[in-house]
Amino acid sequence: MPTQALFGQLLIGLINGAFYAMLSLGLSVIFGLLNIINFSHGAQYMMGAFVAYFCLQWAGLGYWWALLVAPLVVGTIGIVLERTMLKRLYHLDHLYGLLLTFGLALVIQGIFRNEFGSSGLPYGAPALLTGGYNLGFMFLPTYRAWVVLFSLAVCLATWYVIERTKLGSYLRAATENPTLVQAFGINVPRMITLTYGFGVGLAALAGVLAAPIYQVNPLMGADLIIVVFAVVVIGGLGSIMGSIVTGFGLGVVEGFTKVFYPEASNTVIFVIMALVLLVRPAGLFGRAS
């Protein structure tokens, strides 16, 4: 394998890592602040892609609008979900939230598959982002470059808001001690609801980003969610920076596996997960409680 070709694979790995990072970030935010293991994240990612498709088919709104509309629509659905169902589970074990969201994911995916089949629907990249650059060592499609830059920006912005702003400090304080924060006159339940909506919106945003690369397919989230959970576990549940770094890092590891031993590329992340859990049960960036 010539060095030049390895550069190509490195870049591809980063691109796939961008999706892992964005999805695991949403999961981390939700887990960190709500203590809910959101198993319907994959389904919400899929819904984001479908909203982009509907925007185009029914309303004539293109990709750029979809980037705005899909997170809002799916995030709102998430908020309704949180208000009507999830909030009843906060005082129970994690397992209940996991089971509820897992069940919801099955139902949502089943409905979409029944309506739209399993082959998926076509969705193209916007004209501005088609084409690509010849980097010498590989051909880089413009759209892929956009995905890396955009998701990196979103990830860092999220990290900044939660770790470095006043709003973020309220959020973190509310997870540590909700009663006390409420005593200061902050509406904690509303904050939690909005946080869930935000996490779900991130998933939908990733779905819109994915639509031009993959088919808009009812099963697209089901394939991805298991890997993303492994990423979150490796990074450390609830750690924001952890999920961003491991997302990109594991994308690269997976990319190289596809070159040297492609048959194992679906498994390599789980092998790493097992090893990390043996050595650091709280994950690479997690704090042992």
Partner 1 sequence: MRTAWFVALALIAAVAAAPASAQVSDGVVKIGVMNDQSGTYADISGQGSVVAARMAVEDSGITKKGTKVEVIFADHLNKPDVGSQIARQWYDAEKVDVIVDVPTSSVALAINQITRDKGKAFLVSGAAASDLTGKACSPNTIHWTYDTWALANGTGSAVVKTGGDTWFFLTADYAFGHALERDTEAVVLKSGGKVLGKVRHPFPTSDFSSFLLQAQASKAKIIGLANAGADTINAIKQGAEFGIVRGGQQFAGLLVFISDVHALSLERAQGLVLTEAFYWDLNDRTRAWSKRFAAQHHGAMPTMVQAGVYSAVLHYLKAVDALKSDDGTKVIAKMKEMPTDDALFGKGTVRADGRKIHPMYLFEVKKPSESKGAWDYYKVRATIPAEQAFRPLDQGECPLAKK
Which of 23, 25, 224, 233 lies at the binding interface for partner 1 (CB under 8 A)?
A: 224
Interface with partner 1, residue 109, by CB under 8 A: yes
Q: Which long-range contacts (CB under 8 A, 24 or more apart) does 12-16 make?
A: 12/255, 13/251, 13/252, 13/253, 13/254, 13/255, 13/256, 14/148, 14/248, 14/251, 14/252, 14/255, 15/144, 15/147, 15/148, 15/251, 16/251, 16/254, 16/255
Least CB distance to partner 1 at residue 172 (A): 32
Candidate ranges 50-58, 110-118, 179-187, 277-285; the one touching partner 1 (CB under 8 A): 110-118
Interface with partner 1, residue 9, by CB under 8 A: yes
Which of 65, 98, 99, 120 lies at the binding interface for partner 1 (CB under 8 A)?
A: 120
Least CB distance to partner 1 at residue 251 (A): 10
Cα 172 from chain centroid (whole Å): 20
**CA-CA distances (angstroms) from residue 204 to 76, 234, 238?**
11, 23, 20
Which of 37, 100, 105, 148 lies at the binding interface for partner 1 (CB under 8 A)?
A: 105
Backbone angles phi, psi at 121, to 5 degrees: -120, 145
Interface with partner 1, residue 98, by CB under 8 A: no
Burial of residue 183 (CB within 10 Å: 0-12, 13-18, 19+) is: exposed
Interface with partner 1, residue 170, by CB under 8 A: no
Which of 259, 270, 282, 284 lies at the binding interface for partner 1 (CB under 8 A)?
A: 259
- Report d(CA 272, CA 250) in Å as an integer: 9
Least CB distance to partner 1 at residue 187 (A): 34
Interface with partner 1, residue 17, by CB under 8 A: no
The residues of the shown chain that bind partner 1, judged by CB under 8 A, are: 5, 8-9, 12-13, 15-16, 42, 102, 105-106, 109-110, 113, 117-122, 124-125, 132, 138-139, 141, 143-144, 213-215, 217, 219-220, 222-225, 255, 258-259, 262-263, 265-267
